[in-house]
C-alpha cells in the first residue's frame, strides 16, 4: 500500500524493465510518473579540482519515479 502523496521509485538495469514499471505505475493511477536514465561514474577529487573520472563509463540504469494521488 502507498499512502496518499507517497512516492515510489523503481531501479531497473534494463530499459525494458523500466518501461514495464512506468506502464504499471500509470495503470495503477500514480501521478508525475517519469523515467530517468542514470550513468554511474566515479568522482576524482584533488586539492585543485573535482570532476567525473575519465575512466570508461559503465552500463546505464534506469529510475522510474511516481507519486500516489
Please tell me which residue, 54 or 8, carries the higher pLDDT value: 8
> Residue 16's pLDDT is what?
97
Q: Tell me: the pLDDT tens digits for 19-52?
A: 999 999 999 999 999 999 998 788 889 999 998 8
39: cell is 550513468
Share of the chain above pLDDT 70, in %: 99
- What is 15-39 written as a DSSP string? HHHHHHHHHHHHHTT-EEEEEEEE-
pLDDT at residue 58 in the model: 72
Task: State the pLDDT at residue 60.
Answer: 87
pTM: 0.76
Amino acid at each position: 500500500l502507498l499512502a496518499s502523496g507517497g512516492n515510489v521509485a523503481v531501479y531497473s538495469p534494463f530499459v525494458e524493465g523500466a518501461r514495464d514499471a512506468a506502464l504499471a505505475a500509470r495503470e495503477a493511477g500514480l501521478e508525475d510518473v517519469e523515467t530517468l536514465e542514470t550513468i554511474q561514474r566515479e568522482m576524482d577529487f584533488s586539492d585543485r579540482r573535482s570532476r567525473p573520472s575519465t575512466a570508461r563509463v559503465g552500463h546505464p540504469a534506469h529510475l522510474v519515479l511516481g507519486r500516489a494521488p
